[in-house]
């Protein structure tokens, strides 16, 4: 497969032949594919191929997927999307905290997978975030530190603004509780989730029309928050 | 018999003799001295009944002296003119001593009978209490009451079942330390008494009695030394131990019977589960495999529209299969007790938002109206699990009501309990089945195949109950089914604890 015809290199790590075959079929027209069956092979391939994106299964025979993420993150910030049958929240949090960019539970739809791949690539290409974030009726101007809803300015506390800015700069990506706590309050506050809960609740009251139908700040139960 | 301090007994003896002497002095003019002996004997009898043996003997002795001194001529001297009086003195003293001894023995026997009576009645009460004891703790409580009432001793019970010590409430002031482990182990091994008042471990500050059942020692009664160490009380304690052994045995038998019943019920359920699983897993597979087979066939006679329809059916069935497997996994986790709650305070609107967000892709244009009372308190929940429960309720409402009608989710709070209601406009449930819809594999009989797994509501119930909540269903007056789940509101203390 001539590489120059394909816009990006994709590394697929999964020990199931059926899954590799299926992913190859649906993705091979859009990118140059590289396959790995285990964790060590994945690490070697990540170094040799320097992929633009990695699809990683967590249940590998030789090395746990979380460990693979951790080792890759030691030297690379390549987007990693986890695809796993493990659907427990603790597994998601562990993968995201280790540095995965996204988490997709098997079985997933092809459309969903392609959308996640596109979003991850877009975020990776975008080195500096857009200074103006617009989503529905919400506008966040990062340069002017200004938040407006339906044209009207909203007053946020410094902490609320910090949370919102963090979510905006990672729009579409799930941020775990500890990631937000670490970035906004600092590493000493990791065990204080109520700070986050109270501030998110206040923030929602200010920027959401109906907090039981949130349009902007979406809760991923047991995992974290995501800005839509 | 009332016990009197010795010094008072002897003082009483002197007083009685003084009184008798005064009485004799009063009747001296009218009575011959020999007959005054009767008055002194009366004093001796009184002393014997009231003051005890030794004061009575003292009374007899003093009576002789007083009689001689005051009334036998020559008066106010110990000398005796008439030697016949020596016989009177001797008789007075001997009769006095004999009466004292007899009275004292009688008193002891009465006391003995009374004590026996008390023990018999205590044993009777213990038997009655033990008959009503439903578990080990109640047996131990009854035993402790009995030992306390009869011997005023503190009691601790160590019980072994299948070679493992059963934790029981530790007794009274006695610290339940492990310093006497060797003694207890020895009693269990040998089945003999130990501790204070016995031959083994005699320097211990408690008496250890084996509780024997069917030849084996199943436990040890540890009674604080004191009355319990006395040999005369050993029989009583042994009787207590025998009663306790029977009670423990009965508790064990009752528990075994209950376990057997549960096991039998479980195996019935498991059979039903297997039948249902094989049906629910195979049916979608039949459709999927059949569809793929048809599409793959070289000479497939179907047009593009038909092929597409077949593909969509296969896809639907695949997602149904996935849903079923997820539900089965949830169910298994719930029932295997592998569900560890990680409760955190959470706002009600966040919970409802998560659940609605999760079913959004399946709504297909249907509306879910929400109505939340203002100022709802937070609840302490495992958010992912409770979201799952609420999603199951929403799924159920979506599946069993016509697609043109909206669902309503509402929440309110009263008496420190938050109520969340999911209301649909479907046909509701047949009367009398309000409870059954939470059973495993229960499906309301509806004409068209609804594709439900029959597990969703059951899982929701399991999750809600794991949160000390409650879930009920009823047909609403406005038509349709209303499922209400209630959760305890987070108290300020739990919120503070977290902060």
B352: contact with A, CB 8 A cutoff: yes
Task: Give A41-58 pLDDT, tens digit per residue.
Answer: 999 999 999 999 999 999
Q: Do residue B33 and residue B167 come from a single domain?
A: no
pLDDT: is B386 or B440 the higher one?
Answer: B386
Contacts of A206 (CB under 8 A, 6+ apart): A149, A154, A155, A156, A160
The partner residue sitting opposite B372, judged by closest CB among A89, A194, A212, is: A212
Q: Do residue B186 and residue B104 come from a single domain?
A: no
Please state, rounded to an integer, the average pLDDT across all residues of chain A: 88
Q: Do residue B493 and residue B349 come from a single domain?
A: yes
In a domain, B126, yes or no: no
pLDDT for residue A40: 94
Fold entry, domain A132-227? Arc Repressor Mutant, subunit A (1.10.10)
Across the interface, do A221 and B387 touch by the CB < 8 Å criterion? yes
Residue B166, domain extent: 151-171+178-256
Least confident range from A25-29, A203-207, B2-6, B435-439: namely B2-6
Q: Do residue B436 and residue B453 come from a single domain?
A: yes
Residues of A in contact with B345 (CB under 8 A): 194, 197
Comparing CA positions, the residue from A209, A225, A212, A211 lying closest to residue B420 is: A212
pLDDT for residue A6: 52
In a domain, B124, yes or no: no
Q: Do residue B389 and residue B349 come from a single domain?
A: yes
Of A76-80, B134-138, B448-452, the range with the highest mean pLDDT is: A76-80
- Flag whether pLDDT at A1 surpasses 60: no
Task: Give B399-412 pLDDT, tens digit per residue.
Answer: 888 888 888 999 99
- Angle at CA of residue B29, ends B24 and B31, nearest 5°: 65
- Flag whether pLDDT at B167 surpasses 80: no
- How far apart, in Å, are the Cα atoms of A124 and each of A4, A121, B133? 20, 5, 70
Q: Which residues pair with B194 in a beta bridge?
A: B208
- Flag whether pLDDT at B419 surpasses 70: yes
Rounded-to-integer distance, Cα B126 and Cα B139, Å: 9
- What is the total count of domains within chain B? 4
Rounded-to-integer distance, Cα B205 and Cα B207, Å: 7
- How far apart, in Å, are the Cα atoms of B475 and each of A26, B32, B424, B427, B440? 48, 108, 10, 9, 20
Q: Is the peptide bond before A107 cis (omega within 30 degrees of 0)?
A: yes
B497: contact with A, CB 8 A cutoff: no
Q: The CATH number of the domain where B313 resides is what?
A: 1.10.287.130
The partner residue sitting opposite A221, judged by closest CB among B322, B383, B495, is: B383
Rounded-to-integer distance, Cα B210 and Cα A62, Å: 57
Across the interface, do A197 and B347 touch by the CB < 8 Å criterion? yes
Q: Do residue B40 and residue B19 come from a single domain?
A: yes
Task: Give B77-91 pLDDT, tens digit per residue.
Answer: 888 888 888 888 888
The ipTM value here is: 0.83
Beta strands in B365-416 (DSSP E): 368-372, 379-381, 407-414
- Flag whether pLDDT at B1 surpasses 50: no
A205: contact with B, CB 8 A cutoff: no
B498: contact with A, CB 8 A cutoff: yes
Q: Do residue B165 and residue B61 come from a single domain?
A: no
- Flag whether pLDDT at B275 surpasses 70: yes
Task: Give B238-268 pLDDT, tens digit per residue.
Answer: 888 888 888 888 888 888 898 888 888 777 7
A74 to chain B nearest CA, in Å? Answer: 31
In a domain, B359, yes or no: yes
Task: Give A140-179 pLDDT, tens digit per residue.
Answer: 998 889 999 888 899 999 999 999 999 998 888 899 999 9
Task: Give span(s): CATH 1.10.10.10, chain A.
Answer: 132-227
In a domain, B136, yes or no: no
- In contact, A138 and A171? CB cutoff 8 Å: no
B169: contact with A, CB 8 A cutoff: no
The partner residue sitting opposite B498, judged by closest CB among A194, A212, A213, is: A194
Give per-residue burial for B188-221: e unless 16+ CB within 10 Å, then b.
Answer: beeeebbbbbbeebeebebbbbbbbbeeebbbbb
Q: Do residue B359 and residue B220 come from a single domain?
A: no
Which of the four pLDDT bands, split at 50, 70 and 90, describes residue B451? low
Report the predicted TM-score, pTM, of the whole model to 2 decimal places: 0.60
pLDDT for residue B449: 52
pLDDT for residue B430: 79
Superfamily of structural domain A3-125: Response regulator (3.40.50.2300)
Q: Is the peptide bond before B74 cis (omega within 30 degrees of 0)?
A: yes
In a domain, B397, yes or no: yes
- Flag whether pLDDT at A139 surpasses 80: yes
| Mean pLDDT, range B324-347, rounded to an integer | 81
Rounded to 5 degrees, φ, ψ at A167 are -65, -40
- 10 Å CB burial of residue B123 (0-12, 13-18, 19+) is middle
Q: How many residues does chain B have?
A: 499
Task: Give B359-399 pLDDT, tens digit per residue.
Answer: 887 787 888 889 999 888 999 998 988 998 999 899 888 88
Q: Do residue B437 and residue B349 come from a single domain?
A: yes
- Flag whether pLDDT at B4 surpasses 70: no
Beta strands A9-13 and B368-372, pairing class: unpaired
Residues of A in contact with B342 (CB under 8 A): 222
Across the interface, do B345 and A197 touch by the CB < 8 Å criterion? yes
A208 to chain B nearest CA, in Å? Answer: 12
Q: The CATH number of the domain where B418 resides is what?
A: 3.30.565.10
pLDDT for residue B494: 66
In a domain, B310, yes or no: yes
- Flag whether pLDDT at B172 surpasses 50: no
Task: Give span(s): CATH 3.40.50.2300, chain A.
Answer: 3-125
Please state, rounded to an integer, the average pLDDT across all residues of chain B: 83
Domain end: B192, B226, B256, which one?
A: B256
The partner residue sitting opposite A214, judged by closest CB among B353, B384, B409, is: B353
Domain end: B256, B272, B302, which one?
A: B256
Q: Do residue B215 and residue B356 come from a single domain?
A: no
A90 to chain B nearest CA, in Å? Answer: 10
In a domain, B35, yes or no: yes
Three-state SS at A163:
helix
Residues of B in contact with A87 (CB under 8 A): 326
A222: contact with B, CB 8 A cutoff: yes
Q: Do residue B65 and residue B107 come from a single domain?
A: yes
| DSSP notation for B154-180 | -EEEEEEETTEEEP-PPPSSS---STT
In a domain, B141, yes or no: no
Q: Do residue B213 and residue B245 come from a single domain?
A: yes
CA nearest to B354 within chain A: A219
pLDDT for residue B68: 87
């Amino acid at each position: 497969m001539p590489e120059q015809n394909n816009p990006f290199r994709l590394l697929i790590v999964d020990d199931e032949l059926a899954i590799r075959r299926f992913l190859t079929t649906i993705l091979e027209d859009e990118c140059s594919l590289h396959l790995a069956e285990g964790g060590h092979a994945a690490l070697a391939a990540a170094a040799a191929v320097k992929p633009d994106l990695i699809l990683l299964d967590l249940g590998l025979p030789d090395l746990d997927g979380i460990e693979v993420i951790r080792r890759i993150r030691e030297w690379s910030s390549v987007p990693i999307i986890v695809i796993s049958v493990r659907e427990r929240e603790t597994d998601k949090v562990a993968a995201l905290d280790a540095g995965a960019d996204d988490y997709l539970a098997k079985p997933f739809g092809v459309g969903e997978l392609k959308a996640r791949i596109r979003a991850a690539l877009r975020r990776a290409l975008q080195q500096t975030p857009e200074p103006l974030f617009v989503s529905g009726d919400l506008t966040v101007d990062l340069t002017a530190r200004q938040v407006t809803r339906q044209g009207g300015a909203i007053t946020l506390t410094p902490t609320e603004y910090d949370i919102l800015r963090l979510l905006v700069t990672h729009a579409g990506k799930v941020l775990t509780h500890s990631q937000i706590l670490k970035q906004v309050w600092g590493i000493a506050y990791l065990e204080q989730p109520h700070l986050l809960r109270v501030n998110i609740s206040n923030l929602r009251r200010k920027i959401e029309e109906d907090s039981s139908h949130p349009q902007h700040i979406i809760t991923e139960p047991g995992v974290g928050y995501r800005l839509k | 018999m009332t016990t009197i301090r010795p010094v008072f007994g002897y003082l009483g003896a002197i007083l009685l003799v003084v009184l008798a002497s005064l009485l004799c002095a009063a009747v001296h003019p009218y009575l011959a001295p020999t007959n005054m002996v009767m008055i002194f004997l009366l004093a001796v009898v009184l002393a014997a009944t009231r003051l005890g043996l030794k004061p009575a003997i003292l009374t007899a002795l003093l009576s002789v002296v007083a009689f001689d001194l005051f009334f036998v001529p020559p008066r106010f001297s110990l000398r005796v003119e008439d030697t016949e009086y020596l016989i009177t003195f001797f008789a007075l003293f001997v009769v006095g001593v004999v009466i004292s001894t007899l009275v004292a023995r009688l008193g002891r026997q009465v006391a003995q009978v009374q004590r026996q009576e008390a023990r018999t009645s205590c044993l009777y009460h213990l038997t009655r209490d033990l008959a009503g004891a439903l578990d080990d703790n109640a047996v131990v409580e009854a035993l402790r009451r009995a030992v306390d009432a009869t011997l005023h001793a503190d009691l601790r019970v160590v019980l072994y079942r299948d070679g493992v010590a059963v934790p029981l409430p530790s007794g009274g002031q006695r610290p339940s330390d492990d310093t006497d482990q060797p003694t207890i182990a020895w009693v269990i091994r040998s089945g003999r008494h130990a501790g204070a008042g016995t031959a083994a471990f005699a320097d211990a500050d408690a008496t250890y009695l084996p509780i024997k059942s069917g030849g084996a020692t199943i436990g040890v009664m540890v009674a604080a030394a004191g009355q319990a160490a006395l040999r005369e009380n050993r029989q009583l304690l042994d009787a207590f131990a025998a009663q306790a052994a029977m009670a423990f045995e009965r508790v064990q038998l009752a528990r075994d019977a209950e376990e057997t019943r549960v096991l039998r019920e479980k195996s019935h359920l498991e059979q039903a589960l297997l039948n249902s699983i094989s049906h629910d897993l195979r049916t979608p597979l039949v459709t999927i495999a059949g569809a793929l087979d048809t599409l793959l066939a070289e000479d497939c006679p179907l047009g593009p529209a038909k092929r597409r329809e077949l593909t969509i059916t296969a896809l639907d069935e695949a997602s149904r299969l996935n849903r079923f497997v997820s539900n089965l996994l949830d169910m298994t986790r719930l029932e295997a007790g592998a569900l560890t709650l990680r409760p955190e305070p959470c706002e009600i609107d966040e919970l409802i938002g998560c659940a609605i967000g999760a079913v959004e892709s399946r709504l297909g244009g249907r509306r879910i109206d929400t109505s939340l009372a203002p100022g709802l308190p937070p609840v302490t929940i495992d958010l992912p699990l409770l979201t799952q429960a609420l999603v199951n309720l929403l799924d159920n409402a979506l599946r069993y009501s016509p697609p043109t009608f909206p669902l309503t989710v509402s929440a309110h709070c009263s008496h420190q309990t938050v109520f969340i209601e999911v209301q649909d406009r479907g046909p509701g449930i047949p009367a009398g089945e309000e409870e059954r819809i939470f059973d495993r594999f229960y499906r309301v009989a509806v004409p068209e195949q609804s594709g439900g797994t029959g597990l969703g509501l059951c899982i929701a119930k399991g999750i809600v109950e794991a949160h000390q909540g409650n879930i009920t269903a009823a047909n609403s007056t406005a038509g349709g089914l209303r499922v209400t789940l209630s959760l305890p509101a987070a108290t300020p203390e739990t919120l503070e604890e977290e902060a």
